[in-house]
Structures are given as structure tokens and as C-alpha cells.
Structure 1
Amino acid sequence: MLHRSHEPANYQCPFCELVNDLPFSQDNLCAPTDLIYQTDLVAAIMACDGFGNYGGHVMIIPTAHLEALYDLDEATGAAIMRETKRVALAMKLAWNPEGTSTRQHNEPAGNQHVWHYHQHVFPRYADDELYRQLRHRVSIEDRAAKARELRQALFSGEHPMPLSPEGIIR
């Protein structure tokens, strides 16, 4: 193995709790309304943090508990990239940002802090200060509204986004 796990003993994964519809542990910042959609391989969820003047970015995660990029099989990796593109396009439809960015972190020195792979998809604005690390909590209500907006952009409206080959589970 080229890397060792950084997951603490008895780790309660917040993303696994969300996608498997399990009771949330005390430290889980997710909310049930954060789940935008889920397929056999991946899920799109609202992130609880915003940056700068804006709230609402998305994370694409594997439905299986895989800690880091190094652990992804080819099918899951391809599904993550496919859904990253779909969500970025849905953001353009739903929120009309000036651009989009993606990023992903591995291991503590790589700035990973949840031990379940996640690909961030950000709507970008000229004044968003994304890389100045002005992280702030986004309310559950705001995240739920943004998840609804993205669902609408993904699955209905004038230009619905095609489904992944895996299809939607919930």
C-alpha cells in the first residue's frame, strides 16, 4: 500500500451516515437535506461550509467508504468525474456563477479533514475569496434550498441533465 489510513479508531464517517440513511453521530455537520442525489457509485451532497461572501458548494463522494484518491477504483473515479461535470453544469443553470472550480484533498498534509474521499465543486464569482480560506458555516436551511435548486436544474426544466449510467437511487 502506498499510503496509510489516517482515519482514527472508531471513526464515525459523516458521509457514510448520510448516504446510508444512518443515525447521525454527535459531530456530524451534515443534514439529511444535504443529499442532492445518489447513484450506485456516487452521491452529490451540499457542503456545510461556504467561503467568502457565498455559501453553497457541492461535494461528489463515493457511496462506498473510500478514504482517499488512492483508494478509488476506475469505475468509481470515472463516476466521480462524470458527476463533477454534471453538477458544475447544473450550477451554471441554477445560480449563473461567473465560473466553477473543483478541488480535492488527500491526507492531513493535503488538507483532508473528513476521512472519506470528496471532490469539491464550487460556483465561482470574482469577489468570492475562495482561496483566502474565509470558511464559514452555511445554515441547513440555505443548504436545503440550494440542494432543491440544483435538483431542479439537474432533473427538470428546459435543459435536464442526462442521468448517469448507474441511475438515481434517491
Structure 2
Amino acid sequence: MTRSHEPDGYQCPFCTLLRGESTPISTPENIVYRDEQTAVVVSPHWWETNPVNLLVVPVEHVENLYVLPPALGTPLLATARRAALALIETYGCEGTSLRQHNEPAGNQDVWHLHFHVVPRWHDDAFQRGEHVMRAVPLAEQHEHSARLRGASSWRS
């Protein structure tokens, strides 16, 4: 099944970052990890009660889960695991959540597959829907990117 919602001429923000270029809300400094197949980016939007939203993306442009080449599934999940461990090591969160959205009805708004890795704390209200996204200034994004790059999970 292939259903595309990517507009003609779409300028993918993840592909832009992975080429070493900036977008209006993100720069290559937001990339905290990259290998041949995957990358981890500090998101420019965070949930207020769960700061530092990490995005795990395939380096290859893939619109959504439906068209993900099976050979990329394992590397993406392995990188999501590293991202979760980096959040625990760097911020001492009590858990993590992994989210992924497909198509407009599924809340996808960037047409490049990505997994959100979100730090969690007991009673943080995240699952009750009491969370609100906020735009994060570049300086704050870069501060956290630099902290996360030091995590040992990227080296294992």
C-alpha cells in the first residue's frame, strides 16, 4: 500500500538538515547522532512537561511507515534505543515513550518518517493528554544537543 501526502516540490526539513543546511527552526547542530542509515535530531518543538523531544529518522528520505524498506526497520529501532538510553543518562528521566505518526489523520505533519523519543517521569500527565507543544529557541535546542552528544549510548 502506498499513499502519499507529500506535496509536489516538498522541501523536507530532515533532508535539509542531513545535507548540512539549516531550516528556519533548526540547524545541523541539532543532529546529535548519525550513522549510514539513521540520525537523531533534537526537535524544535517539545511537550511542556517532557522537555527534549528527540526525533529518530532514516537518512534516506522515506515518507512514512507504509513505505519503509524492511531493511531499515532494525537500524531505526536500534537508534531509537540509543536515543532513549541517552535521555536516561543525560536527564535522569524515569522512562521514555516512542511515538510515530502516519498521514494527516494520524497527526503526521512532516513528510519524512520519524520516531519521537520522549523522556518520561511518573505522573507527568503525558498520557492523559494534558500536554502542550512549545516552540523551542535555537539556543536552547543547541544547548541540549551538545549535552546529548556526550552520552555513552552513541558509542555502544
Q: TM-score, normalised by structure 2?
A: 0.90
Q: How many residues align?
A: 154
**In structure 2, what is the equivalent of residue 166 of structure 1?**
none
After TM superposition, list the pairs within 5 Å mapping 1:101-112 onto structure 2: 101-112=97-108
Mapped partners of 1:141, 1:10: distance in 2: 30
User: Is 1:41 equivalent to 2:37 in the alignment?
Assistant: yes
Q: How big is each residue's C-alpha offset from its partner over 1:61-117, in whole Å with a ceiling of 9 and x where there is no partner?
A: 001110001111122111110000011111111100011100100001111000000
Selected match of 2:79 from 79, 83, 108: 83
Note if contact 1:46-1:59 (Cα within 8 Å) is conserved in structure 2.
yes
Shift of 1:23: 5.5
Judged with a 3 Å threshold, the aligned counterparts in structure 2 of structure 1 residues 23 and 152 are, in CA distance, closer, same or farther, namely closer
User: Is 1:123 equivalent to 2:119 in the alignment?
Assistant: yes
Q: TM-score, normalised by structure 1?
A: 0.83
**In structure 2, what is the equivalent of residue 20 of structure 1?**
19
- Extract unaligned runs of 5+ from structure 2: none
User: Is 1:11 equivalent to 2:7 in the alignment?
Assistant: no
Give secondary structure in 1 for the equivalent of 2:151. Answer: helix
Where do 4+ consecutive residues of structure 1 move more than 6 Å? none
Shift of 1:127: 4.8
Mapped partners of 1:4, 1:23: distance in 2: 28
Selected match of 1:146 from 144, 148, 153: 144
Mapped partners of 1:127, 1:140: distance in 2: 28
**In structure 2, what is the equivalent of residue 96 of structure 1?**
92
**In structure 1, what is the equivalent of residue 134 of structure 2?**
136
After TM superposition, list the pairs within 5 Å mapping 1:50-69 onto structure 2: 50-69=46-65
**In structure 2, what is the equivalent of residue 31 of structure 1?**
27
- Extract unaligned runs of 5+ from structure 1: 163-170
Give secondary structure in 2 for the equivalent of 1:102. Answer: strand
RMSD: 1.7
Note if contact 1:30-1:48 (Cα within 8 Å) is conserved in structure 2.
yes
